[in-house]
Structure 1
Amino acid sequence: MESSGVAVTIIDPEGNIVYYNRQAAKILDRKPEYIGEDIHSHHKKEASNKKVDLMLQEFQKGRTEPFRYKTKPYGRTILVILAPILKDGEFVGCTQSVQLEEDLA
């Protein structure tokens, strides 16, 4: 994941950050002390937290299709994919993959 060129964060089913790669630290607000912390505490807008809650709930209900969306949290447009991680068919977490829109041109 370190050499993929994509920002990757892994989140557990409760919304805690369990891993992020170097690219995530460059593009997003990721610091070593965030490991184990709730992702909600790092979103400035309540609407963002509601969106995270909805996506986690959908994965817990059995959704296997990733969520894809664009947002502009740091003044630059990012493309986000939130995909479930399943173990024996059970939701055990999700990956958040992020790329700057400008990097896709």
Structure 2
Amino acid sequence: MVTKDKYLQSLKKELLAFGLSPKRISVIISDYEDYFESAYDNFEKDTDIVNNLGSAQKLAKRILSEQIESPMPHIQINASMLIKYPKTILPTLFYSLLLLGSVKNLV
């Protein structure tokens, strides 16, 4: 029988193997601890919860695919920021666009 603690430890190990940062893993594990607690409130047992989630390896792969598919954060820059901080904003903006592939023809 797989317990909550064993399952979450296994999930943590899988996420580490996929290279997620310890900070991000901590957030994910905390979310799934909450998930288990919520299921307990509905009188579910560990075995039922684990069966619903699937194997820790499959869940880690699903989490990783969601991490990859999540969009980049939206950054809003206005003219006053460009005027106040041109030496910071312009290189950062250019580098960000370069990373996104938007300025590859200029380089």
Could you tell me the TM-score, scaled by structure 2's length? Answer: 0.27
Larger strand percent: 1
Could you tell me the TM-score, scaled by structure 1's length? Answer: 0.27
Structure 1 or 2, whichever has the larger Rg, is 2
